[in-house]
Structure 1
Amino acid sequence: MFRFAASLLATATVLSGCAQEKQLYISDAWVRLAAVEGRPAAGYFTIHGGPADATLVSVSTDVATRTELHESRMTHSGGMAMDSLRQVPVPALKQVRFAPGGKHAMLFNLNPVVKPGGTLTFTFTFADATRIQQNARVIAAGDPAPTKN
């Protein structure tokens, strides 16, 4: 009986070592429409790093003519400024959050069929050519940020 139990324990230990590693993924994606027609919408989401470091190089959607990665920051004079980001490092097993007042995706010339309560699909492209598609909820300019998708 002892040998059988030891054998089961050894097998369980080996199998737990084969458990699937955490993968790179995106969660909590949403878009706030612009308050003024013709201005860009803003996209937010959380990137969950996988087993190795990654680098986000672009976010796109079929319903905008152009999407850019930006980061808002406070200036020395106390105002806000926005910087364009060419890429965003995603450390292994860490989260990178795109949220109001920080990193975000700007969606230019958004198709007018996109309305509050709907969804759109983002394609996230990483430096190693990994591509991840993720749906994003769409909210109106004055609506509060969603707490979860």
Structure 2
Amino acid sequence: MLPASTKCLSAALLLGLTLLLAACAPAKVLYVDQAWVRLSANDDTPSAGYFTVHGGEEDVRLLSVISPVVLRVDMHESMQKGGMMSMQPINSVEIPARTDVTFAPGGKHLMIWGINAAMKQQGKLPLTFIFSNGDRIIYDAVIRKPGDGAPASKDEHDGH
């Protein structure tokens, strides 16, 4: 049997070690991935953009998405109303801490007007995601031709 003082010391060391290890766990980081753009078949209509935002340690809002090589980017959401699909602009999107928010066909998405022809040839579109905490994340979205689906594998989403 160990003396009481040794038991207390052992318990204190165990508790200290547990707290130290917990503090060493990596913090969850806000980031964007899997971004892709489906080009419109008509240059006079917008292309659509999709991506996933992975929430960090705190709640934030996605305020806007911009690109230096397009005329305009707006965030929209598709929804059912009275049995019909409709679309409406959205000003910002809540990104809860440690939660993924996906912009995907049939839901939240980007409307992108006037993509630079050189970017279409290059196959990537630089997007800057602007958040309420001041973070700006730049990610190169994969450009897909009209009618193409999402990139087949995560390897194609290589915009970091």
**Aligned equivalents of 2:38, 2:79: Cα separation in 1:** 19
Q: Which moved more, 1:87-96 or 1:8-17?
A: 8-17
Report matched runs for 1:85-104 at 5 Å. 85-104=90-109
Cα RMSD over matched residues?
A: 2.0
Q: Which has the larger radius of gyration?
A: 2
Shift of 1:19: 2.3
Distance 2:109 2:38 in 1: 11
Matched with 1:79 is 84
Structure with the higher fraction of residues in helix conformation = 2
1:9: Cα distance to partner? 9.7
With structure 2 as the length reference, what TM-score do the two structures score?
A: 0.81
Match of 1:67 in 2: 73
State percent identity of aligned pairs.
43
Residue of structure 2 in register with 1:134 after alignment: 139
| Number of residue-to-residue matches in the alignment | 144
What is the TM-score of this pair, normalised by structure 1?
0.87
In structure 1, stretches of 5+ residues that fail to align are 1-5
Aligned to 2:114: 109
Describe the shift of the 1:45–1:80 C-alpha distance in structure 2 as closer, same or farther (beyond 3 A): same
Match of 1:52 in 2: 58
2:7 aligns to what?
A: none
| Aligned equivalent of 1:42, options 43, 48, 51 | 48
Which stretches of structure 1, 4 residues or more, deviate above 3 A after TM superposition? 6-13
> Which residue is 1:3 aligned to?
none
In structure 2, list runs of 5 or more residues that go unmatched.
Answer: 1-9
